[in-house]
Chains A and B, each alone.
Chain A
Amino acid sequence: MRDAFTFDAVAVRTEGYSLPGLKGPWAASGPPERVSALAVEAREIFLRLARPRGILEDISPEAFAAVYRGEGLNEPRTPVDEISTRAGRLALFVVTLGEEVSGEIARLFESRDFALGYVLDGLASESADRTAGLAARRYLDSLIALGEAREDWAALNYSPGYCGWHISGQRRLFDRLKPEEIRVRLNESFLMRPLKSVSGVIAAGGKEIHDFSDTFEFCSECEGHGCRQRIVSLGAARGSEREQWRS
Chain B
Amino acid sequence: MEILSHIRETLLQGDDDGVRDLTRTALAAGLTARTVLDEGLVAGMGAVGEKFKCHDIFLPEVLLAARAMYAGMDVLQPLLAGEGVPALGKVVIGTVQGDLHDIGKNLVGIMLKGAGFEVIDLGHDVSPEKFVEAAERERAGVIGLSALLTTTMPVMGKVVEAVRSRGLAGSVRVIIGGAPVSEQFARQIGADSYGYDAASAVERVRALLKGP
Contact = CB atoms under 8 A, between A and B. Distances in A.
10 contacts: A19-B60, A114-B63, A114-B67, A114-B107, A115-B60, A115-B63, A115-B64, A118-B60, A167-B150, A189-B99
Contact of A118 (B59, B100, B150, B152): B59
Interface stretch (A32-40, A134-142, A236-244): A32-40
A114 B55 contact: no
A167 B107 CA distance: 25
B110 interface: yes
Contact of A34 (B61, B66, B106, B152): B61
A117 B107 CA distance: 11
Contacts of A21: 58-61
A119 B107 CA distance: 12
Given A109-B106, A168-B151, A191-B149, A35 B98 contact: no
Interface residues of B, number: 25
A30 interface: no
A189 B152 contact: yes
A43 B102 CA distance: 21
A191 B99 contact: yes
Interface string B29-58: 000000000000000000000000001001
Interface string B164-202: 000000000000000000000000000000000000000
A20 interface: yes
Contacts of A191: 98-100, 149, 151-152
B62 to A, nearest CB: 8
Contact of A20 (B14, B59, B70, B97): B59
Nearest to A105: B103
A166 to B, nearest CB: 8
B100 A195 contact: yes
Nearest to B148: A191
Interface string A89-133: 000000000000000011001001111011101000000000000
A12 interface: no
Nearest to A188: B98
Contacts of B59: 19-21, 115, 118
Contacts of A161: 149-150
A112 B20 CA distance: 14
A34 B64 contact: yes
A34 B65 CA distance: 12
List of 6 A-B pairs having minimum Cβ-Cβ separation, nearest first: A21-B58, A189-B98, A115-B63, A114-B63, A21-B60, A115-B60
